[in-house]
């Protein structure tokens, strides 16, 4: 699910080539739009069956001093990074609870932790809230066999970092492995937390 039609189509084509057309579906929507949820969620279940796994990975950011952050920018960051995760979890949780199984993985950020990140307050606040949501869902879902964990990436190789690499040289020097993570490094931890290998892991937020 993505709000970019071309990117969604490319992902579906790539995944369908690996797993088969009948096992992959793409949906174009803005996850911050709560009203749209009722339209596409039934389509997902009709096409793929009951939802046993939810990965909340969509996010946005606004950079700058807090005094310059508009109400609209704050609402957008909180709405997508935190509220959309709550809305999606609330939508899929009843089915998971009824079936006695399920896993939710929330993609957080190292920005959520207490050291603070300059000019990044809305994002850090949204991800700290997501960590709290993760732990609360773990407590609620645990007695019914539903797990909820989080992954907290640092800086990830990609277009954003490529365009600003010099700005983050100090961050690279403070990273123990002296490299930034690849997307696959994060995906591997998500895959583990979603799998039965992590059947007794819940309420955790794993830094990557």
With a CB cutoff of 8 Å and minimum separation 6, the contacts of 121 are: 66, 69
Of 123, 137, 138, 181, the catalytic one is 123
Q: Tell me, rounded to whole angstroms, the distance of Cα 160 from its chain centroid.
A: 17
CB distance 134 to 105 below 8 Å: no
The yes-or-no answer on residue 123 being catalytic is yes
Residue for token pair 């600003």 = 164
CA distance 50 to 33: 22
The dihedral over CA atoms of 107, 50, 86, 78, expressed in degrees to the nearest 10, equals: 60
Instruction: Name the DSSP letter for residue 3.
Output: S
Helices H / strands E in the chain, number of each: 8, 4
Active site residues: 123
């Amino acid at each position: 699910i993505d709000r970019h039609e071309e990117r969604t189509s490319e992902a579906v084509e790539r995944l369908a080539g690996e797993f088969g057309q009948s096992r992959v579906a793409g949906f174009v929507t803005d996850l911050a739009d709560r009203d749209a949820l009722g339209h596409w969620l039934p389509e997902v279940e009709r096409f793929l069956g009951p939802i046993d796994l939810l990965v909340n990975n969509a996010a946005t950011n606004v950079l700058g001093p807090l005094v310059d952050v508009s109400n609209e920018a704050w609402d957008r960051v909180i709405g997508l990074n935190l509220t959309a995760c709550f809305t999606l979890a609330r939508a899929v949780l009843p089915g998971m609870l009824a079936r006695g199984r399920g896993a939710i993985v929330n993609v957080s950020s190292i920005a959520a932790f207490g050291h603070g990140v300059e000019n990044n307050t809305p994002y850090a606040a949204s991800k700290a809230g997501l960590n709290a949501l993760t732990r609360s869902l773990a407590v609620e879902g645990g007695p019914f066999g539903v797990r909820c964990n989080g992954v907290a990436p640092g800086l990830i190789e990609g277009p954003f970092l490529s365009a600003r690499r010099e700005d983050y040289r100090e961050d690279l020097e403070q990273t123990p492995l002296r490299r930034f993570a690849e997307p696959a490094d994060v995906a591997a931890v998500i895959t583990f937390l979603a799998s039965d290998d992590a059947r007794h892991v819940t309420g955790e937020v794993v830094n990557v």
